Amino acid sequence: MFDRKALMEAVIGGDDMTAVELVNTGIAEGVAATEILNGSLIAAMDVVGDRMESGDIFLPEVLMAARAMSAGVEILKPLMSADDQESKAGVIIGTVKGDLHDIGKNLVAMLLESGGLDVTNLGVDVPPETFMEQVKERNAKIVCLSALLTTTMPMMKETINLITENGMRDQVKILVGGASVTQAYAEEIGADGYAPDAGTAARLVKSIMAG
């Protein structure tokens, strides 16, 4: 039987083989992909974060947990494909310069892709210049910026500033997200929107595309 806690423990302990096995068990038993994702995988990374903060675990353990989480997400990906595939439009997403966190950003990208959007995932440590060049080159309608560190959040503002300075601010909506980012911060730096999680980000993008 699918054991939510055992899956959390597998991710926390960096045991990717067990994580894969348990995710497969959940799927076989008909547990919803979003339930496995939110109830076990993301929940486990929250515990990992708390333990990292309190000094109970260190980077190697965190990396192993991240790897186990990603292995689980890979299995869930095809199951989370959304039904409607009609709206193809350009979205650019990336983690800002100086920041190497990509699990959450990739989840957002995955949900957008599965919703039928044309998504360009620029990866991590993306300088403002690259975002700006990609907006121009791909004629993008939406840019999603991710930052997990308080020290890299200002890069979001720099990216917005550069796009503005290059006269392209009116052609794109810029959305921000990531563990440390807030609605208030989004407003402070002049972003068009903030999403606390991947589901909200996907809904926000869709409503912009529709509007």
The β-bridge relationship of strands 173-177 and 142-146 is: parallel
What is the closest distance, in whole angstroms, from the C-beta atom of residue 119 to ligand B1M in the complex?
Answer: 11
- Asked if 55 interacts with ligand B1M (CB under 6 A), we say no
Q: Name the one range near ligand B1M by CB under 6 A: 5-13, 19-27, 62-70, 159-167.
A: 62-70
The β-bridge relationship of strands 142-146 and 90-95 is: parallel
Q: Name the one range near ligand B1M by CB under 6 A: 19-27, 41-49, 156-164, 165-173.
A: 41-49
- Asked if 180 interacts with ligand B1M (CB under 6 A), we say yes
- Interacting residue with ligand B1M among 5, 74, 100, 207 (CB under 6 A): 100
- Asked if 109 interacts with ligand B1M (CB under 6 A), we say no
- Asked if 63 interacts with ligand B1M (CB under 6 A), we say yes
- Asked if 135 interacts with ligand B1M (CB under 6 A), we say no
Q: In what order do the strands lie in the sheet with 173-177?
A: 118-121, 90-95, 142-146, 173-177, 193-195
Residues 209, 117 contacting (CB under 8 angstroms)? yes
- The smaller minimum CB distance to ligand B1M, of residues 72 and 116, is found at 72
CA distance 1 to 170: 52
Residues 118, 90 contacting (CB under 8 angstroms)? yes
Residues 194, 182 contacting (CB under 8 angstroms)? yes
Residues 133, 105 contacting (CB under 8 angstroms)? no
Q: Which residues bind ligand B1M (CB under 6 A)?
A: 42, 45-46, 48-49, 52-53, 59, 62-63, 66, 98-105, 107-108, 144, 146, 148-150, 175-180, 195, 197-198, 201
